[in-house]
Amino acid sequence: MNVLLLLDMVPEYHDLLVDLGKAFNQRGHQTYYAVDSPLNLWRFRENPPVGEYRVFSEFLAGFAQGDGNSEFAWEAFFADFDRYEHYGVNWGNRQDWYCRLAAALEGFFEACVRDWKIELILYEGVTNSYSHFANRIAERHGITYIGVQASRLPGRHEYHGANEDVLRQRIKKHHDAIAAGHASDAGVAEWVAQYLANFEVATPDYMASNGLLLQDPLSKYAKFGNLSNLWRLGTYQLLRRGPADRNYRSGPPLTYSLIHAKRSAVRWARSKLLGKYFSRPTAGDRFFLYPLHFHPEASTSVNSRWYVDEYPVIKNLAFSLPPGTWLYVKDHPSAVGYPKLAFYEHVSRLPNVKLIHPGANTKQLISDSVGVITQTGTVGYEALVLRKPVWVLGEVFYDFHPGCLKVGWNEDLAKSLRQPPQAPITEAQVRTLVAAYYLATKPGALPLGSERAASASFDQLAAEIEVQVSQPE
């Protein structure tokens, strides 16, 4: 089998996919790599791809508009534009730049698939234009696209297709079978029981290793390793200034890193001014919980792009609430201080909204709430496990659950908030959901960064993916 792996600038995924490619080679497959820019090869030169590769930025530099066109949907660039908007990268580019970029991406992946006779494309989910056009070509040629991702369940990993719906359908299939009386084995039931016994006190895996928590920028960046990296990026930016060396999603590497450092410093300073906007939860309040999201992130810019500007979302929800209820808006630990002060000011002035500190216990808030209103993400899943109803705006893997209702901005929003999707959610329904999710995932955490020691082996991952291709669900 000929496998194409997509490499971009995320360090953990670069190493994951390169080492996964080595495992595929050892199992008798042929691997090829689509690399976003030479910066990728230069920055991660201690772990280069083993096999033939092509570099997109070099292809783009020599690409003329007359070389090809693409009838693309503008949604392909929403996630990237969301990043540009937050970081100020590629901010001034107009329609012709995007049209040329789309045609080049399509031509690049078409050539990769055609010339190498690709049968499988591997990356994470379709989260940006780079992966969007890879998947577009995969669909054109009838080949498989698989996204390898970490799971919300501890010590598990999962496989996605081009969108959240692939995982959703996989979970739903198991959920419907269990609900129909097809019992899972005793080992699954035992795992579910242990998971639920520790659920309320356990720190989720996605928070336990969270590198986006608020930190003093001096202690975060004033380290030899970081300063050395900035020097290396500066050298690259100074000496390799041609278009063939430039990553279209991030721009000049030192400039991009300094933008991140500046955002962290501004965030730290802004966080010192936020105390007056936060309210404490009040005993006896009847409230819905709305968790703020981190931006920019695929969970919103891909799975909930209609609601990516959160203040209008909060405002519309607030004025759709039933009488006598509050909207508790909990700030995100990974995002506190990133929104401008005006955002916090506007949210805190809404008459029936309380802005809750990011350090508040989310699971306790869920337990005390009427239910959760969320765009995407894990808090909605946690609410179902805690037997609370969920109203969801975006695309999530659990929206088939009887305790979950998909809502939107229309005249039915206020009506839907007056009546829970199902009350109450039973303990049996909780066990069914968790068991179905467990059965839709695979054992072992993904070998990412420091987690490699106690995780799935690369040979295990390669074997699982072989099954996904030969026996699609």
Q: Which region holds residue 377: left if phi is over 0, alpha if psi is between -120 and 50, else beta?
A: left
Split at pLDDT 50, 70, 90, the class of 68 is: confident
Cβ atoms of residues 123 and 147 within 8 Å: yes
Looking at per-residue pLDDT, the higher value among 106 and 162 belongs to 106
Residue 377 has what pLDDT? 83
3-state SS assignment for residue 3:
strand
Rounded Cα distance, 366 and 116, in Å: 50
Split at pLDDT 50, 70, 90, the class of 186 is: confident
3-state SS assignment for residue 294:
coil
Residue range 206-215, pLDDT digits in tens: 555 556 677 7
* Residue 115 scores a pLDDT above 90: yes
Q: Is residue 37 part of a domain?
A: no
Cβ atoms of residues 227 and 257 within 8 Å: no
Q: Is residue 145 part of a domain?
A: no
Nearest Cα to 243, choosing from 434, 25, 57?
57
Residue 207 has what pLDDT? 56
* Residue 369 scores a pLDDT above 70: yes
State mean pLDDT over 256-272.
92
State mean pLDDT over 311-317.
96
Split at pLDDT 50, 70, 90, the class of 368 is: very high
Max mean pLDDT range (53-67, 153-167, 455-469): 455-469
Residue 64 has what pLDDT? 80
Q: Is residue 413 part of a domain?
A: yes
User: How far does Cα 353 stand from its chain's mean position?
Assistant: 27
DSSP state string for 75-106: GGGHHHHHHHHHHTSSTT--HHHHHHHHHHHH
Residue at token pair 């054109």: 140
Domain containing residue 302: CATH number: 3.40.50.2000
Residue 109 has what pLDDT? 97
> Distance between the two ends of the chain, CA-based, in angstroms?
19
Split at pLDDT 50, 70, 90, the class of 224 is: low
Alpha helices (H) in 360-423, listed in sequence order: 362-368, 378-385, 413-418
Nearest Cα to 70, choosing from 30, 129, 148, 6?
129
Q: Is residue 175 part of a domain?
A: no
Interior angle at CA 85, CA 81 and CA 87, nearest 5: 110
Task: Report the number of secondary-structure helices (H) and strands (E) in the chain.
Answer: 20, 13
Split at pLDDT 50, 70, 90, the class of 421 is: confident
Predicted TM-score (pTM) of this structure: 0.92
Q: Is residue 224 part of a domain?
A: no
Rounded Cα distance, 467 and 190, in Å: 26
* Residue 205 scores a pLDDT above 60: no
Rounded Cα distance, 121 and 292, in Å: 33
Split at pLDDT 50, 70, 90, the class of 67 is: confident
What's the mean pLDDT when you consider all of the chain? Answer: 91
Q: Is residue 231 part of a domain?
A: no
Cβ atoms of residues 379 and 399 within 8 Å: no
* Residue 182 scores a pLDDT above 90: no
Host domain of residue 294: 205-210+275-435
Rounded Cα distance, 108 and 225, in Å: 35
* Residue 392 scores a pLDDT above 70: yes
Count of domains for the chain: 1
Q: Is residue 51 part of a domain?
A: no
3-state SS assignment for residue 375:
coil
Split at pLDDT 50, 70, 90, the class of 11 is: confident
* Residue 309 scores a pLDDT above 90: yes
Cβ atoms of residues 437 and 167 within 8 Å: no
DSSP 178: H
Q: Is residue 133 part of a domain?
A: no
